[in-house]
Structure 1
Amino acid sequence: MIARWRWITNQLTKRLWFRASLFSLLGVATALLAVVFRDFIPESLPARIGADAVDKILGIIASSMLAVTTFSLSTMVSAYSAASSGVTPRATTLVMEDATTQNALATFIGSFLFSLVGIIALSTGAYGKQGRVLLFAVTIGVVILIVYTLLRWIDHLSKLGRVGETIDRVENAAIAAINRRAQWPYMGGAAYPLDLVLPVSARPLSSEQTGYVQHIDVQALGVIAKESQIRLYLEVLPGSFVHVGMPLGHIVPLDLASKDDGNFPPEKIRAAFTIGVRRAFEHDPRFGLSVLSEIASRALSPAVNDPGTAIDVIGRGVRTLTCWAKPQIPSPEHDPGCDLVHLRGLTVDDLFTDFFSPISRDGAGLLEVNIRLLKALISLSQINPTLFRLVCIKHADFLLSRADASLQLQYEKDQLLSLACTMPR
C-alpha cells in the first residue's frame, strides 16, 4: 500500500496552487534563460530575424493572459458551485482535482509571468541583441503552447461541472478505490481474525483527534511492530469516524509474559494515522458508493424530481460493485514485514447497504426506480452468486417492503413481485 509520505505528496500535487506555482517558476526561469545563453547566439542572427517585435508580442501576452486567467478562475468557481448544488458537495473535491483545468490555469499564469519578466528584463537592456533572438524563439514556443491550451480549455469548458461529467468522476474514483481494496483486502496487512479474543496484556491505542480516518500507513506500522516486538490489531479503516479517546487499535506484545511498556511507542503509531475533517475517495471504497447513492437520492428529492439521473446512477453502482466480484491480479497476502499488523476487511453487506438502502428508501414511491433497483440486484446475484446472492435477496426483500408501504396501485406491487420471483433463491 501507499506510504504516508507518498500519500501526502500525491495530495499536494492535486492542489491548484502546486501546479500554478510550478508553472510560474518555469515561466520566470524560461524568461531569464535568454540572458544566460545570449552569448551562444551569433551576432549576425538578430539582423536576419528582426527580433525587435518581441516587445509587442510580450505586451500582448501579458495583457491577454491576465484577462484569460481572470475569466478562467470565474468559470472554475461557477463549475464548482454547479457541481455542489446540482450533484453533491462531496463531489466538488474531484472537480477541483481536474488535471485539465489545473494545467490550463497554470499555463495562463506561467505565460503571464514569463511575459512580465521578459518585459522587465528588456526594459533594463539585460538581453542585448543576441538575447532578444533567443527570447523571440522562446516566445514563439510559448504562443504555440497558449493556443494549444486554449483549444483544450474551450473543449473542456463544455463538460466542466455538468451533472453527467461529475458523476463520471465519482464513479471512476469509486471503481479505483474498490479495485485497490480488492487487490489488497487488508491494505497490505494481515487479516483480523473474526473470532479473536484479545489477551489481557492488550493495550488500547486511543485517538487524540476527532475526524475521519483518511489514510493508514500500514508499512510504517509494520516497521514499528517489528522493531518493538508487538502485534497491532486495528479497529478502524479509512472512512471511519473517530473521536478523542476512541481506540484506534490494540497493542499486543509478542511475548505475552512481558510487562515492559517501554517498547510500545504510541506516538509513532498514532502518526501513521491521517485524520481529517472529511472523508477521502482514494482509500475509502464505501465513500465512493455513498456519494453515488447520495447523488441518486438528491435526484429523487421533490425539489429536483429527476428519476432518470437516479436510474443512471443505479447502473453505475452495478458497474462499480461488479469490480468487487471480479478476480484481481494475484498479490501477496500482505506486504513484507506487515504480517504483525491486522486489519478488518470490507463486507459485501456494508457495500450494498451504503449504495442501495438510501436509493431504495427515497425511491420507494416510484415504480420505475424500484424496477431498476430490482434488476440491478438480480444482475449482481447472477454475476457472482456465491458472493452476492444472499445480500441481494436481503435488499430485494427490503425494497419490496418499502414499495408495499409507498406504492398505491396493487398492479404496480404485483409487477414488482413478479420481477422479484426471477431472482435466484
Structure 2
Amino acid sequence: MPLFLDTLKLMTTNKNDKKNLWQGTYDSAQKRLKQFTQLWSLQTLSDLPDRLKNLWEQLIGSYWFIPTACVIAGILLAPLLVTIDQHFDRETVREITFAFTGDDDAARAIMTAIAGAVLGVAGTTFSITIAVLSMASSQFGPRLLRNFLTDKPNQFVLGAFIGTFSYSLLVLKSIHKYDVSYGVPQLSVTFAIIMAIICALLLVYFVQHMVHAIQASHVIQNASNDAINNIHYWYSDCCDIQHQRNVEHHDVEQFHTWSATPVYPPRSGYIQQIYLESLMTLTQDYGGVVQMHVNLGDYVTDKNVIGYFYQRPKNHPLNQQKTATPHLAVVPRSPDGMFWQRFADCIRLEQRLAHSNDIAYSLGQMTEIAVRALSPGINDPKTAVNCVQSLTSCLSIMIRRQPPSPYHFYTPASDNDASDTVDHEQRSAILALVTHTPTIADFIDRSLGEIRRYAAADLMVLKALCQAMIDLSYARVNHAQQQTLLHELNLIKRAGEENLSYQELINDLIAMCQQAERFILDDDAQHQYFSYESEFSAHIRKALETQSS
C-alpha cells in the first residue's frame, strides 16, 4: 500500500511538472511575442532600410544563397518547359535546325550525360575554390576569405552547374519509355543541351577568373574599392550648414551635467551596426541623450560601459512645452526594462568580425595584406608598397571630404496651425544622440602606422610611407591634418634610425624625411611638384653638369 501511494504521488508530480513546463513555455512565448511587437513598432522601423540591407548582405555573403537560387530556378524551369512541350507542335520543333528531334533513348542518354558531366565539373570547381581559399588564407590573411566567398562570379558558376544538374534530373524523369502522349520533351532537351554548352564556357571563364582573383594587385584593388564605398557612405561632399547651426545648441555643452546612467551591451561581441534612427527615437521617448563611446568594429563584453544615457532635468525648457505645443512635449523618465530591450535592438552584435560599413575594417584588410607580405615567410615588400599606395588613395579621399558629425539631432515636425505661434527656437532641432567618430589621425595610425611598425627594417616600405605623407599633404585642408602628417613622418624617421642596418640607408631615409617635412610645411606646397633627390644622386648630377659645361 505505501508503494502504491508513492507511485501515485510520483505520477501526479510528473503530470504537474509537465503542466508547469507547458505553461512556462506558453508564457515565455507570449512574452517574447509581446516584446517583439513592442520592439518592431512603427517608430523602431525607422531603420528598416538599413536592417533589410544588413539582411541582404548576410544572404549575399553566404556561399549557398546564389547556388540555391539557381537550383530553385532549375527545379521550376523543368516542369515549365515540359508543360510547354506538351502543348507545342512537334512539326514546328523539327523545323528548328538546332532543336533535338531524337527518340526517347537518345533523349535519355543525352540528359544522363549532361547530368553526370555538370555534377562532376561542379565538384571540380568546388575543389578549385577550396584550394584558392586555403592559399588566400595563408598569403593574404583569414579576413580576406570573405572577399573570395562573396565573389559573385564564383557563386554563379557553381550555381549554374548544380542548377543544370537539377534541371536535367527532372527532365529525365519526364521522358517516357514510348513516344506516346508527349513522351519526349524535345524543347526541354534542347534547352538542356544549350545549358551544357554554356556550362562549358563558364568553366573556362571560371579558371580565368580564379587566376586573376588570386593576384595580390586584384585583391588589394577590391579591398580599396570597398573602403572607398564606405568612405562615401559616411563622409559627405560638403558641410551641412543647418547641422552646424544645430551643433551650437546649448544642450551640446550642458548634457554632461545631467543625471547619467551607464549603458551596457546586451551581450558580448563585435559591434557590427548602430541603428541611429531607432536610437534617436528611443532617446526622445525617454527624454534624454545617449552618448556612445564605442564605434563599429569594437569588441565589447556584457559588462562593458559603452555609453551613458543623460536624462534631461525637470526644469529643462523642452519639458515646459506641453500647453503651447503638445507635439513637442518631452516627459523625461528613467530607463526601465523596456528601455534596455529597445536599446538591445538598436545595436547589432556578432561573435565574429564581419563585413559592414566600417571604414576601419576595410582599411584593415589592406593593412593585413601588407603586414603578411612583410613577414619572413612571404617577404614581398612590393605588395606592401602597393598596399601603402592604395591606403594613401583612400585616406586622401577622407581628408578632402566632410567627416560625419558625432551629434545627431531630432527635428520635430510642427503643425501648420500652430506654426505662427511657435517661435524658431521651439522648432529647432533637439539633441538626441552623440556618437564616437574616429579622426583622420586614428585612421592613419591604424593603417599606415601598423605597416610602419612592421616595416621598420625595410627601407623600400619606409620610403613609400614617407611618400604617402607627401601625397596626403596635397589633400590636407587644415592645420591639424598638417600636424598629423608631420607627427607620422617623424615616427617613420625614428623607425628607420633605430632599425635600418647601414648608416647609408639611414642617411638616405633621413634626407627624404627632411625634404618631405619642408614640403609639408610650405604653404604653397599643394601647387608644387615634389621629387626626392638623394645626396648621391645630387652629386652625380652636379658632376655630369660640370663635365657637360
Q: CA deviation at 1:380?
A: 0.7
**Is contact 1:83-1:163 (8 Å) kept?**
no
- Specify which of 281, 303, 309 is matched with residue 245 of structure 1: 303
Q: Is the Cα contact below 8 Å between 1:380 and 1:388 reproduced in 2?
A: no
Does the residue aligned with 1:364 lie in a helix, a strand or coil? coil
Asked if structure 1 preserves the Cα contact closer than 8 Å seen for 2:111 and 2:189, the reply is no
1:357 aligned to which of 449, 452, 472 = 449
Distance 1:3 1:299 in 2: 36
> For 1:33, which of 70, 73, 80 is the aligned residue?
80
Q: What's the counterpart of residue 421 of structure 1?
A: 514
**Counterpart pick for 1:216 among 274, 289, 293:** 274
Please name the residue that 2:220 is paired with.
167
Q: CA deviation at 1:335?
A: 8.9
Residues 420 and 47 of structure 1: CA distance in aligned 2, closer, same or farther (over 3 Å): closer
- Which aligned pairs between 1:18-417 and structure 2 lie closer than 5 A? 18-45=65-92, 50-52=101-103, 53-123=106-176, 128-129=181-182, 132-183=185-236, 198-254=256-312, 256=314, 258-262=332-336, 265-327=339-401, 340-386=432-478, 388-417=481-510
Q: Match of 1:12, as an amino acid?
A: L
Secondary structure of 2:266's partner?
Answer: coil
Is residue 4–residue 215 contact of structure 1 (8 Å, CA) maintained in 2? no
In the TM superposition, what whole-angstrom CA distance separates every residue of 1:11-70 from its partner, at most 9, and x where no partner exists? 112211111111101001101113433443125445656153443332221011111111
Distance 2:389 2:333 in 1: 55
CA distance in 2, matches of 1:304, 1:227: 56
Equivalenced residues, count = 422
Instruction: Please give the alpha-carbon distance, in whole angstroms, between the structure 1 residues aligned to 2:506 and 2:434.
Output: 47
Question: Gaps spanning 5+ residues in structure 2: where?
Answer: 1-46, 316-331, 412-429, 522-549
Structure 1 distance, partners of 2:147, 2:432, is: 35
Residue-by-residue CA offset, 1:185-226 (whole Å, 9 max, x unaligned): 9xxx99899966534423222113222111112232233334
Q: For residues 464 and 295 of structure 2, what CA distance do their matches in structure 1 show?
A: 32
Structure 1, unpaired ranges of 5+: none
Which of structures 1 and 2 has the larger relative contact order (alpha carbons within 8 angstroms, sep 6+)?
1
Which SS does the other structure have where 2:230 is aligned? helix
Change (3 A) 1:128 1:391: farther
Checking the alignment, whether the CA contact within 8 Å between 2:456 and 2:499 is kept in structure 1 is yes
Residue 8 in structure 1 maps to residue 55 in structure 2: yes
1:400/1:14 CA distance change after superposition, 3 Å: same
* Counterpart code for 1:350: D
Compared with structure 1, are the counterparts of its residues 361 and 330 closer, same or farther at alpha carbon in structure 2 (3 Å cutoff)?
Answer: closer
Which of structures 1 and 2 has the bigger CA Rg?
2
Cα RMSD, aligned residues only? 3.3
Could you tell me whether the CA contact under 8 Å between 1:374 and 1:420 is conserved in 2? yes
Report the Cα distance in structure 1 between the residues aligned to 2:471 and 2:180, rounded to whole angstroms: 69
Distance 2:93 2:466 in 1: 75
Question: Is residue 170–residue 288 contact of structure 1 (8 Å, CA) maintained in 2?
Answer: yes
Q: What TM-score does the superposition give when structure 2 sets the normalisation length?
A: 0.70
Aligned mates of 1:154, 1:340 — CA distance in 2? 53
Larger mean Cα displacement after TM superposition, 151-160 or 89-98 = 151-160
Once the two structures are superposed, what CA deviation does each residue of 1:367-419 show, in whole Å capped at 9, x if it has no partner? 22211111111111222252632111101111111211112333222222221
Q: Distance in 1 between matches of 2:235 and 2:281?
A: 24
Taking the aligned partners of 1:310 and 1:167, their CA distance within structure 2 comes to 10
**Structure 1 residues 329, 250: closer, same or farther in 2, change over 3 A?**
closer
Percent identical residues: 22
Residues 60, 150 of structure 2: 8 Å contact kept? no
Distance 1:255 1:120, change over 3 A: farther
Tell me which moved more, 210-219 or 115-124.
115-124
SS at 2:306 equivalent: strand
Specify the code of the residue in structure 2 equivalent to 1:214. Q
